[in-house]
């Protein structure tokens, strides 16, 4: 493999932290049969950490293996808890930046759910960009004032000006995040009042809080506050705010075009030493946690317990593949109807609805994200199910 220079700061001072071979390249493309799911395209993860800026990157990443087409489905908006989070976030942005009767762009808008939240209450006009937006769901269902373009956002759309440019859970998929941000900067032109809002997974949640199932092939970049701040500053933005959100699982950053005086410098946001220390011990911690869960599943299977997983997103797919749970877990529950009756890449479990649990009556439900524990508990009560809930 060729030498590596940090994608955020171009430093060559890096170290390897973790390797995982043959993982499905897409966690969010589910399959019509278990056989096809087990033959899903695979790739390698080789995470490295930059000592200079704390950026973590998969240097084995090959973007040609990925296709963000129509089968890509990663909406979390079917969960009432997530919906609540998104609504509060959208309301907060509208109020903070007085976004009423304004133009809003969302890059990577999925089905346009968040863009609608930003637009509908405050009479804003929204334009969303997403190549995976399904043709079948076009205009009749699109809320008033929202237009979705089935394409990647690029400088060719620079005429499309905005008061807010919003981009959630996209940057970590981009092999050249610096270039991506420079394109956004170029598209803004000289509109110094345009606000830029980005949200990415918080890799400190994986390193510090051991949310290890967030390590997926689709994410080549893993940002901490320090590396995220650095690439925004480098691309010519002033940082207005940077913070952990969603139970510390996400990082949110608000920025605008740089003036002479930057509000926040790299040094002020820096926690590089902590990131490097955590990265040094991460590989061993991952191995131990995966080993414990392999044993737990073997023990459960030996006891004859019916075990299912709740959550067919990145965390669930990574967990099933990392612990090789092919025969011990039969089903994965997910609220997203577009995922139900499809099969998990790599390991081939069927995704089912919460209602389907009434026939299965699992002894144990493994909850992939602790933030949904209360919501799941409520849904089980409604269905008179007494399964034990265990956070993974
Ligand atoms: Zn770096």
Q: DSSP letters along 302-318, please?
A: HTT--EEEE--SHHHHH
Going by the DSSP 8-state scheme, the letter that residue 268 receives in this structure is H
> 153 C-alpha vs ligand 1 centroid, how far in Å?
25
SS3 of residue 245 by DSSP: strand
> 232 C-alpha vs ligand 1 centroid, how far in Å?
13
Q: How far apart are CA 257 and CA 190, in angstroms?
A: 8
> 230 C-alpha vs ligand 1 centroid, how far in Å?
9
> 251 C-alpha vs ligand 1 centroid, how far in Å?
18
> 11 C-alpha vs ligand 1 centroid, how far in Å?
5
> 182 C-alpha vs ligand 1 centroid, how far in Å?
17
For position 268, what pLDDT does the model report?
47
With contact defined as beta carbons under 8 Å apart, do 118 and 168 qualify? Answer: no
Look at the block and give the residue holding tokens 């299912």: 308
The first and second tokens of residue 57, run together, are 């990157």
Q: How far apart are CA 56 and CA 21, in angstroms?
A: 17
> 56 C-alpha vs ligand 1 centroid, how far in Å?
8
> 263 C-alpha vs ligand 1 centroid, how far in Å?
21
> 277 C-alpha vs ligand 1 centroid, how far in Å?
15
> 234 C-alpha vs ligand 1 centroid, how far in Å?
12
Going by the DSSP 8-state scheme, the letter that residue 191 receives in this structure is -
Q: What is the largest CA-CA distance in the chain?
A: 66
SS3 of residue 211 by DSSP: coil
CA distances from 210 to 217, 248, 285 (A): 18, 12, 8
The first and second tokens of residue 229, run together, are 């701040």
SS3 of residue 217 by DSSP: coil
For position 200, what pLDDT does the model report?
98
**Residues 290, 212, 274: CA angle, nearest 5 degrees:** 125
Tell me the sheet residues that pair with 256.
238
> 359 C-alpha vs ligand 1 centroid, how far in Å?
51
> 13 C-alpha vs ligand 1 centroid, how far in Å?
8
Q: How many CB atoms lie within 10 A of CB 1?
A: 6
Q: How far apart are CA 353 and CA 337, in angstroms?
A: 7
> 212 C-alpha vs ligand 1 centroid, how far in Å?
22
Q: How far apart are CA 248 and CA 255, in angstroms?
A: 20
Could you list which residues have their CB under 5 Å from ion ligand 1? 6, 8-9, 11, 50, 52-53, 55
> 225 C-alpha vs ligand 1 centroid, how far in Å?
12
> 127 C-alpha vs ligand 1 centroid, how far in Å?
33
> Tens digits of per-residue pLDDT, 291-333?
999 999 999 999 999 999 999 988 999 999 999 877 789 899 9
> 52 C-alpha vs ligand 1 centroid, how far in Å?
5
> 14 C-alpha vs ligand 1 centroid, how far in Å?
8
Torsion of CA 257, 262, 265, 269, to 10 degrees: -70
> 344 C-alpha vs ligand 1 centroid, how far in Å?
34
**pLDDT tens, the chain, 392 aa long:** 568 999 998 999 999 999 999 999 998 889 999 999 999 999 999 999 999 999 999 999 999 998 766 566 767 778 888 999 999 999 999 999 999 999 999 999 988 999 999 999 899 999 999 987 776 554 456 666 799 998 888 888 988 889 999 999 999 999 999 999 999 999 998 889 999 999 999 999 999 988 899 999 999 999 999 999 999 999 999 999 999 999 999 999 999 999 855 555 555 445 899 999 999 999 999 999 999 999 999 999 999 999 999 999 889 999 999 998 777 898 999 999 999 999 999 999 999 999 999 999 999 999 999 999 999 999 999 999 999 999 99
Closest CA to 354 of 372, 336, 374, 329: 336
């Amino acid at each position: 493999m060729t030498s590596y220079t940090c994608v955020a700061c171009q430093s060559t001072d890096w170290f390897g932290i973790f390797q995982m071979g043959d993982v499905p390249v897409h966690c969010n493309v589910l399959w019509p049969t278990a056989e096809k799911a087990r033959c899903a395209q695979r790739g390698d993860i080789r995470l490295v950490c930059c000592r200079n800026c704390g950026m973590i990157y998969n240097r084995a990443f090959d973007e040609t293996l990925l296709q963000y087409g129509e089968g890509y489905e990663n909406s979390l908006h079917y969960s009432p808890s997530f919906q609540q989070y998104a609504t509060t976030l959208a309301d907060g942005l509208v109020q903070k930046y007085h976004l009423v009767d304004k133009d809003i762009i969302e890059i990577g808008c999925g089905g346009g759910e968040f863009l609608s939240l930003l637009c509908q209450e405050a009479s804003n006009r929204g334009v969303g960009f997403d190549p995976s937006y399904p043709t079948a769901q076009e205009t009749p269902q699109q809320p008033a004032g929202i237009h979705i373009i089935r394409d990647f956002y690029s400088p060719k759309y620079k005429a499309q000006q905005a008061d807010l440019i919003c981009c959630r859970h996209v940057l970590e998929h981009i092999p050249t995040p610096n270039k991506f941000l420079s394109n956004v900067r170029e598209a803004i032109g000289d509109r110094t009042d345009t606000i830029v809002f980005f949200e990415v997974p918080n890799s400190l949640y994986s390193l510090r809080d051991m949310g290890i199932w967030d390590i997926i092939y689709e994410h080549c970049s893993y940002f901490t506050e320090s590396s995220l701040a650095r690439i925004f500053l480098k691309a010519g933005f002033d940082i207005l705010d940077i913070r952990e959100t969603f139970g510390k699982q996400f990082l949110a950053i608000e920025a605008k075009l740089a003036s002479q005086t930057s509000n926040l410098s790299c040094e002020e946001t820096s926690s590089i030493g902590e990131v490097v220390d955590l990265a040094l011990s991460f590989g061993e911690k991952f191995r131990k946690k995966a080993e414990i869960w392999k044993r737990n599943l073997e023990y459960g299977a030996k006891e004859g317990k019916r075990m299912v997983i709740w959550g067919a997103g990145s965390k669930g797919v990574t967990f099933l593949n990392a612990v090789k749970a092919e025969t011990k877990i039969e089903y994965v529950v997910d609220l997203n109807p577009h995922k139900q009756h499809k099969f998990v890449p790599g390991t081939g479990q069927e995704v089912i609805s919460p209602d389907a649990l009434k026939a299965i009556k699992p002894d144990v439900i493994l909850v992939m994200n602790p933030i949904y524990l209360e919501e799941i508990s409520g849904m089980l009560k409604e269905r008179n199910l007494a399964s034990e809930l265990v956070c993974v």
